[in-house]
Amino acid sequence: MPEIIPNWHPIFVHFSVALLSLSVLVYWLSHFSSGTMQRESAIVARWALWLGALAAVFTGVAGIVAYNSVAHDTTSHLAMTEHRNWALPTITLFVLLAAWSMLQHVKGRTVNTMFLLGLLLAGGLLASTAWHGAELVYRYGLGVMSLPDTDAHDHAGHAHGESDHAHDNQAGGGHHGALDAADMNADMDNGPMTDGANAQDGRRHTHDDGHDHQH
Confidence check: pLDDT of 210 > 70: no
Q: Calculate the average pLDDT of the chain.
A: 75
Q: pLDDT tens-digit profile of 166-205?
A: 444 444 544 444 445 445 454 545 544 444 444 444 444 4
Confidence check: pLDDT of 3 > 70: no
Angle between helical axes of 9-31 and 113-138 (0-180°, round to 10): 150
pLDDT at 26: 95
Number of residues assigned to the chain: 215
Torsion angle (degrees, nearest 10) of CA 27, 33, 39, 40: -70
pLDDT at 137: 75
pLDDT at 68: 78
pLDDT at 154: 58
Which of 22-31, 34-43, 115-124, 151-160 has the least mean pLDDT?
151-160
Angle between helical axes of 9-31 and 35-67 (0-180°, round to 10): 160
Mean pLDDT calculated for residue range 17-23: 96
pLDDT at 4: 61
Give residue limits of the domains in the chain. Answer: 9-145, 167-213
The residue ranking higher by pLDDT, 37 or 147, is 37
Q: How far apart are CA 172 and CA 124, in angstroms?
A: 58
pLDDT at 144: 63
Confidence check: pLDDT of 151 > 70: no
Q: pLDDT tens-digit profile of 74-127?
A: 777 788 888 889 999 999 999 999 999 999 999 888 888 999 999 999 999 999
The residue ranking higher by pLDDT, 190 or 145, is 145
| pTM beyond cutoff 0.75 | no
